Structure 1
Amino acid sequence: MFIGVDYYPEQWPRERWETDLKLMKELGINVIRISEFGWTLMEPEEGTYDFSLYDDAIKLITSYGMKVVLGTPTATPPAWLIQKYPEVLPADENGVTIGFGARRHYTVNSKTYHLLSKRIVEAMAKHYGDHPDVIGWQTDNEYGHEKSDRSYSEVDQEAFQEWLLQKYGSLEELNHRWGTVFWSQTYDNWSQIPVPRKVYQEHNPSLLLDFNRFCADAYTAYNRMQVETLREHIREDQFITHNFVYTGLAQDQKAIAEDLDFISFDNYPVWGGLAEPIKPAAIARQHDLCRGTKNGKGYWVMEELSGAQGWSQIGYLPRPGHLKLWTYQAIARGAEAIVYFRWRAARFGTEQFCHGILDHDGVPRRKYKEVKDVIDSLKRRGDDLIAADFPAEVGFYHDPENDWAWQIQPQSDQFDFIQEFLRFYEPAHALQVQGNIIRDDVDLSAYKVIVVPIYFLTKKGFNEKLEQFARQGGTVIFSYRTGVKDQDNVVSEKTLPGELSNMCGIEVHEYDSLRGSRSATVKGTAAPLEGLSAESSVWCDFIEPTEAEVLATYEDDEWFSGRAAITRNYVGRGQVYYIGTGVDRSMLLPLYEAIFKEAGIETTDTPEPVEMVTRVGDDVTYVTVLNHSVEESFDVKLPAGKWIDASNGEETFEGTLTLKPLQSIILESSN
C-alpha cells in the first residue's frame, strides 16, 4: 500500500531536498505528490516549457526508491496568462471579476482556458508519460473549492444559454417547465436568460437548479478534456485521479469520476477557525461518500491532515493519537493510500500556517514519530486490509441535485443540509451498522434498509424503485419534506408527500418551519417509541395517516398537540417509515435499533465516542476499533472469538478491549 506526502520542492532550497528525502525514507514514505501548483515554473511564458526543476526533483526522489504522482497545475494559472487573457477570469454573483492573487481564478466555461490548460497538460504528459517512476496523475486540485464552482461572467452567461438550448430545444418548453409566467419572466430570446447574479429578491428556483446542473456539466467536461489529453500520451498503467471536496459544490462528482481510474479525497477533520474536530460520524460520512462515488471502489486520500491547519486562522492542534486514528478510520472505510499534507509547513504564501509532519524549522518531532508508528503498524497487514470487502446492509441516498435544491430554498434558518443528512446517518454509525452512500442508479436488492433523508427534490424512477424495494420486503426510512419538488424544482400539485403519499400511507396537510430557537416536543405513542420523549428542531410536518400506524405525536401546548409526527406503513412485505420532524438522537437511536433488528441487521452497543469498522477478506476478518475521545478510556465489547493485533500478529484479545483516549487498533481473526 502507498503512504506518502505532499511535497513542494519549489518552495525549498535545493540543498534541503536531500535532507527531506532522507527523513522521508527513514519514515517509510513510498510515494510523493508534486507539481500541482507549478504552472509558472513549467511554462514561464506562453509556449515555452521548462521542466528542469521537477526533473531534478524526480531524479532525486526516485533515487530513494519513492514513486511520484504528478498534479496538473491548472488550479493556479500564472500571472502572464491572466495579463494576456483576462477573459478566463471568473465573476462572482455581483458580476465582479475575481482577480489574480490566490488560486482557482478561472472559469471552466472559457474556451481560451480550455486551450491553455490542454497545452500545459499535453506538454507534461509528453514529458513524463513514459517515466518509469511516475505512477499516476491528479487532474487540477480540488475542483470548485473556495466558491469557485459557480461563475457569473459574460462568458458563463453565453455558455449557460447554449446549454439551455441543448437541453430544452425551444423557449416554449423552457418557459413551461420553469413557470416563467410568474413575475413576467417569460423569455422570447435565448440571450435574455441571465446567469443568476444578485437580484433584489430571489431568482426562479428552476433557473437556479439548472444553473447548478450547467456548472456541474462544465466541470465534468473540463476534467474530461484533461483526462483525454493525458491518456493520449501516458502509459496505460499510469492512473488518473482527482482530489474531490464534498461540500455541496455545483459539481457531480460521480459524473466526473466516470472518467477517472479512481477518485481521491482531501481529509481534513479539522480546519482553520474550528475549535475542535468535526464529529466522528461526519468524518465517516465523507469517507462513505468517497466510496460511493465510484460504486464501492476504493480511493486515495491525497491530502491527510498531519498538523494544525489554517490560512489566516489556525485550527485545533491534533492531539497525540489523532493522526493514527484518522488514518485508520480512512483505511477502514475504503482508502487504499494515504498521502499526508504536508511534508513541511511553508515559510511564505497563503499556507504559512498549514502545519505539516515537520513544522517551519524542519526538525522531526512528535508528529514525525507518530506517522512512523502508523506506517510501521501497517506493514504487516495493510495490503490485505485494503483488499478486503466492506460489508454494507444499509443504503443512504444522496444526490447533489437534492442538496442544491435545499441550498436554493433552505426554508428554515435552522436548516443545514449536511447536518440534517447526518441527523439520519449518525444513529446507524452509533450502532456500528455499516452503510453505503448511494444514488438512484444502484441496485437496491443488495440492501435491507434504505434511508432517504430530506428527499426534497424527487425523481420518478427512484420513487418507483423504492416502492418495489419495499414491496419485496425492504425497509425505507423517509424524513420531513419528502416529495415536495419534481426534477424541474417545481412543487408537486399532489398532496404531500406527493408521489410518495400512497407508499408512506400518509398525507401532510400543513407544516411549520421552526426558526430561531423554536423547537417542538415529540412523544412516542406506540412500540418501539412508546414512553419516549424528545425535542425536535428545523421542521414539523403535521401528518394525517391514511393507512400508516402512528408511532409518535407532538405534545406541545400549541394547537398541533396530538398530531402525528412519526409513522410506519406496511407496503407489500416491507415497511415504510416517515419521520416528519428533525427529532433528536434520543428518539432516533432506539427507532433505528428496532428497525435494524426487525430487518435482521446486527447492531453493536458501544460507548458513544467509539467507532468499529469491519472488513471481510477471503480468510481473515478485520475490525478497526477507534476511540475518538480525547479524555476518556472505554471498555469495548468485541465480536465473538479470538482477535489478534494486526500490526504485530502477536497480542491477542477476547471478550473486552480497553481503549485509552484516542487509541486506535486494527484487529484480525480467521474466518
Structure 2
Amino acid sequence: MYIGVDYYPEQWPKERWNTDLELMQQLGINVIRIGEFAWGLIEPEEGTFDFSLFDEALDLMYEHGFDVVLGTPTATPPAWLIEKYPDVLPVDKYGRKIGFGARRHYTVNSEVYQCLSKKIVQKMGEHYGHHPAVIGWQTDNEYGHEQSDRSYGEYDKQAFHTWLQKKYGTLDELNERWGTIFWSQTYTKWCQIPVPTVVYQEHNPSLLLDFDRFCADAYTRYNKLQVDTLRESISDRQFITHNFVYTGLAIDQLDMAKDLDFISFDNYPVWGGLAEPITPAAIARQHDLCRGTKDGKNYWVMEELSGAQGWSQIGYLPRPGHLKLWTYQAISRGAEAIVYFRWRAARYGTEQFCHGILDHDGKPGRKYAEVKDVIASLAPFADKWITSKVQADVAFYHDPENDWAWQIQPQSDQFNYINECLRFYAPAHDLNVQTDMIRGHEDFSTYKVIIVPIYFLTKKHVNDRLKDYVKRGGTVIFTYRTGVKNEDNVVTDLTLPGDVADMAGISIRDYESLREQKRSSIRGISAPLLTHTSPVHVWCDYIEADSAEVLAVYEDEWFSDKAAITKNSYGNGHVYYIGCGVEHDFLKRLYIDIFNNTGIAVHETPSNIEVIRRETSSHSYLTVLNHGVNQGYDVELPDQGQPWKDIETGKIYDRNVHVPRLGCLVCVRDK
C-alpha cells in the first residue's frame, strides 16, 4: 500500500531537501506527489523549458527509495502567459474577467490555452515518461474548484454555440425543447443564445442546465487532451489520475473517469472557518461517491488533511487520533493509497496556514509521531486489506445533473442539496448498512434497496430500470419533489410524481415550500411509525394515496387529511415515498423496518460509532471507528457466530469491544 506526502521542493532551499527526505524515510512513507503548481518554474518563458530543479529533486527522491506522482501544472498558468495571452482568463457570471493572482485562472474553452497546456504536458511526458522514480501522473489539480467550473466569456460563448448545434441539430428542436416561446425568447440564429450572465430576473432553466452540461463536457475534453498527450510518451507502467472534489461543481466525474486509470480525491473533513469537522456520514458519503465514480474501483486519497487548514481563516485543529481515524475510514471505504497534505506548512503564499505534518519550523512533533504510528500500524495488513471489497446491499442514486437542476431552482431558502442528500443517507450510515453510489447504469439486481433522494430531474432510462427492478421484487425509496422535471429541465405535464406516480401508487396536487425556518409536523398512523411524530423541514408534498398504504399523515390545520409517507406494492416489490424533510430519528425508525423486511442486516451502535464491513473470498474485515472526541464506547460486534480477531494485536473478541475516543479497530476472521 502507498502512504505518502504532498511535497513542494521548489518552495524550500535545496540544502533542506536531504533533511526532508531522511525524515520521510524515518516516517515510513513510500510515495511523494510533486509538481502540480510549478508551470512558471518548468517553463519560465514560452517555449523555454527548464527541468533542472525537478531533475535534481526526482533523482534525489529515487536515491532515497521513493516513488513519485508527478502533477501536470496547468492549474496555475504563469504570469508571462497571462501577460501574453490575457484572453485565456475566465469570465464570471457578472461579465468580469478573473485576474491573475491565485490559481485556476483559465477557461478550458480557450484554444490558445489548450495548445499551451498540451505543449507543457507533452514536454513533461517526454522528459519524465520513463524516469524510474515516476510511477504516475495527476492531471491538473481539482478541476472546477473555487468556482472555476463555469466561465462566461467570448470563447465560452462560441464553444457553447458549437456544443448546442451538435446536441440539437436545428434551432427549431432547441426552441421546442427549451420552450423559448415563453417571454419571447425564440432564437432565430445560434449566435443569439447567451451564456447565462446576470440578468434582471432568472434565465430559462433549460438553458442553465445545458450550460452546466456544456461546462462539464468542456472539462472532460480538456482532461482527455492531457491524458492523450501523456499516453503518447509515458511508460505503460505509469498511471494517470486526477484528484476530484465533490461539491456540486459543473464537472461530471464519472464521464471524466473513463479516461483515467483510477480516480483520486482530496479529503478535508474540516477546513478554514469550520468550528468542527463535518459529520462522519458526510465524510463517508464522499468516500462512497469516490468508489462509485469508476464502478467500484479503489481510489487514491491524493490529499488527506494532516493539520489545521485554512487560507485567511483557520479551521478546527484535528485532535490526536483524528489522522488515524480519517485514514482508516478512507481505506475502509475504498481508498488504496493515502497521501497527506502537506509535508510542511508553507512560509509564504496563500496557503501559509494550511498546516502539514511538519509546521513552519520544520521540526517533527505530535503530528509526525501520529502519522508514523499510523504507518506502522498499517504495515502488517494493509496490502491484504485494500484487496477486499465493500459488499453493499443498498444503493444510493446520485446524478450531478440533478444537483445542478436543484442549484438552478432550489425552491426553498432552507434547501441545500448536499444536506438533503445527507438527510436520507445518514440513517443508513448510522445503522452501519453498507451503501454504493450509483448513476443508473449499474446492475440493480445486486441491491436489496435503492434510495433515490430528491429526484427532481428524472431520466426515462433510470425510471424504466427502477420499475423493472421493483416488479422483480426490489424496494425503492423516493423522497419529496420526485418526478417534477424531464431531462430538458422542463416540468412534466403528468400529475406528480410524474412518470413514477404509478409505481408509487400516489398523486400529488398540492405541495409547499417551508421557508425561513417554518416547520410542519407529521404523525405515524401505521407500523412501524405508529404513534411517533416528527417535525418536518424544507418541503411538504401533500400526498393522495391511490393504491399506496399510508404510513404517516400531516398534523396541519389545512392538510391533516393528506399523507406524508406511503408504501406501495408494485409487482413483486415495494415503493416508499417520503414526502417531506423528516427528522433523523423518525426516518431511522422507518429504515430499520425497510431493511429488516428486505433481509439487510442492521447493526445499531452509539451515534459516533461507524462500522464498515469488507470482504475477500477467504476473509471478512470489520472496521470500528469512534468519531467521538469526548468518550469511549462499548460496542457489540456483529455476527457473533464466529469471533473477530484484532488484526493489530491478535486479541480475540467474542462479543463486545471498548473503543476509546477517536479510536480505530480493524478485525478479521476466516469465512
Task: Provide Cα deviations, 1:606-646, integer angstroms capped at 9, x if missing partner.
Answer: 00100000111222211111000000111100121222221
1:462 aligned partner: 462
CA-CA distance at 1:132 after TM superposition:
1.5
Q: Using the alignment, how far apart are the partners of 2:184 and 2:115 within structure 1?
A: 40
State the AA in 2 paired with 1:546: D
Alignment of 1:335-484 (within 5 A): 335-484=335-484
1:252 and 2:252 aligned:
yes
| Superposed structure 1 runs of 4+ greater than 6 Å apart | none
Q: Using the alignment, how far apart are the partners of 2:106 and 2:648 within structure 1?
A: 46
Task: Provide Cα deviations, 1:541-573, integer angstroms capped at 9, x if missing partner.
Answer: 0000110000000113x2112310000000011
State the AA in 1 paired with 2:643: K
Q: Using the alignment, how far apart are the partners of 2:342 and 2:593 within structure 1?
A: 44
Q: Using the alignment, how far apart are the partners of 1:654 and 1:21 within structure 2?
A: 44
State the AA in 2 paired with 1:48: T
Q: Using the alignment, how far apart are the partners of 1:667 and 1:51 within structure 2?
A: 47
CA-CA distance at 1:389 after TM superposition:
1.5
2:217 aligned partner: 217
Q: Using the alignment, how far apart are the partners of 2:317 and 2:648 within structure 1?
A: 26
SS, match of residue 172 in structure 1: helix
1:616 aligned partner: 615
State the AA in 2 paired with 1:554: Y
1:663 aligned partner: 663
1:600 and 2:587 aligned:
no
Percent identity between the two aligned chains: 66
1:567 aligned partner: 566
Quick check: 1:27–1:372 contact (8 Å CA) kept in 2? yes
Quick check: 1:269–1:283 contact (8 Å CA) kept in 2? yes
CA-CA distance at 1:586 after TM superposition:
1.6
Quick check: 2:334–2:389 contact (8 Å CA) kept in 1? no
Quick check: 2:62–2:132 contact (8 Å CA) kept in 1? no
Taking structure 1 as the reference length, the TM-score comes to 0.99
2:628 aligned partner: 629
Alignment of 1:19-418 (within 5 A): 19-418=19-418
Quick check: 1:384–1:617 contact (8 Å CA) kept in 2? no
2:585 aligned partner: 586
CA-CA distance at 1:216 after TM superposition:
0.3
Q: Using the alignment, how far apart are the partners of 1:581 and 1:105 within structure 2?
A: 41
Quick check: 1:379–1:647 contact (8 Å CA) kept in 2? no
Q: Using the alignment, how far apart are the partners of 1:539 and 1:281 within structure 2?
A: 22
When the two structures are aligned, how many residues end up with a matched partner? Answer: 669
1:644 aligned partner: 645
Q: Using the alignment, how far apart are the partners of 1:123 and 1:275 within structure 2?
A: 44
Q: Using the alignment, how far apart are the partners of 1:331 and 1:522 within structure 2?
A: 40
CA-CA distance at 1:62 after TM superposition:
1.2
Q: Using the alignment, how far apart are the partners of 1:580 and 1:642 within structure 2?
A: 42
Taking structure 2 as the reference length, the TM-score comes to 0.99
Quick check: 1:291–1:299 contact (8 Å CA) kept in 2? yes
Task: Provide Cα deviations, 1:82-109, integer angstroms capped at 9, x if missing partner.
Answer: 0001111000001100010000000000
CA-CA distance at 1:175 after TM superposition:
0.5
CA-CA distance at 1:668 after TM superposition:
1.1
SS, match of residue 74 in structure 1: coil
State the AA in 1 paired with 2:648: S
Q: Using the alignment, how far apart are the partners of 2:83 and 2:666 within structure 1?
A: 53
CA-CA distance at 1:145 after TM superposition:
0.2
CA-CA distance at 1:63 after TM superposition:
1.0
CA-CA distance at 1:651 after TM superposition:
2.3
CA-CA distance at 1:578 after TM superposition:
0.2
State the AA in 1 paired with 2:88: V
Task: Provide Cα deviations, 1:325-350, integer angstroms capped at 9, x if missing partner.
Answer: 00000000000000000000000000
State the AA in 2 paired with 1:226: Q
State the AA in 2 paired with 1:619: S
Task: Provide Cα deviations, 1:39-72, integer angstroms capped at 9, x if missing partner.
Answer: 0111001111101101111111111111000000
Q: Using the alignment, how far apart are the partners of 1:459 and 1:622 within structure 2?
A: 37
Task: Provide Cα deviations, 1:422-463, integer angstroms capped at 9, x if missing partner.
Answer: 111111101000010000111101101000000000001110
CA-CA distance at 1:237 after TM superposition:
1.1
Quick check: 2:59–2:133 contact (8 Å CA) kept in 1? no
2:14 aligned partner: 14
Task: Provide Cα deviations, 1:2-49, integer angstroms capped at 9, x if missing partner.
Answer: 000000000001111111111100000100000000001110011111
Task: Provide Cα deviations, 1:559-608, integer angstroms capped at 9, x if missing partner.
Answer: 11231000000001100000000001121001000000000000101001
CA-CA distance at 1:652 after TM superposition:
2.4
Q: Using the alignment, how far apart are the partners of 1:504 and 1:482 within structure 2?
A: 10
CA-CA distance at 1:281 after TM superposition:
0.2
SS, match of residue 561 in structure 2: coil
RMSD (CA atoms) = 0.6
Q: Using the alignment, how far apart are the partners of 2:53 and 2:113 within structure 1?
A: 25
Q: Using the alignment, how far apart are the partners of 2:280 and 2:232 within structure 1?
A: 42
Q: Using the alignment, how far apart are the partners of 2:645 and 2:259 within structure 1?
A: 40
State the AA in 2 paired with 1:646: I
Q: Using the alignment, how far apart are the partners of 1:414 and 1:466 within structure 2?
A: 29
Quick check: 1:257–1:294 contact (8 Å CA) kept in 2? yes
Task: Provide Cα deviations, 1:263-308, integer angstroms capped at 9, x if missing partner.
Answer: 0000000000000000000000000000000010000000000000
Task: Provide Cα deviations, 1:216-237, integer angstroms capped at 9, x if missing partner.
Answer: 0000000000000000000111
State the AA in 2 paired with 1:86: P
SS, match of residue 637 in structure 2: strand
Q: Using the alignment, how far apart are the partners of 2:67 and 2:664 within structure 1?
A: 28
1:540 and 2:540 aligned:
yes
SS, match of residue 17 in structure 1: helix
Quick check: 1:551–1:566 contact (8 Å CA) kept in 2? yes
Quick check: 1:543–1:565 contact (8 Å CA) kept in 2? yes
Q: Using the alignment, how far apart are the partners of 1:533 and 1:540 within structure 2?
A: 15
Task: Provide Cα deviations, 1:155-192, integer angstroms capped at 9, x if missing partner.
Answer: 10111011101111111111110000111111101111
Q: Using the alignment, how far apart are the partners of 1:57 and 1:651 within structure 2?
A: 44
Quick check: 1:150–1:212 contact (8 Å CA) kept in 2? yes
CA-CA distance at 1:647 after TM superposition:
2.3
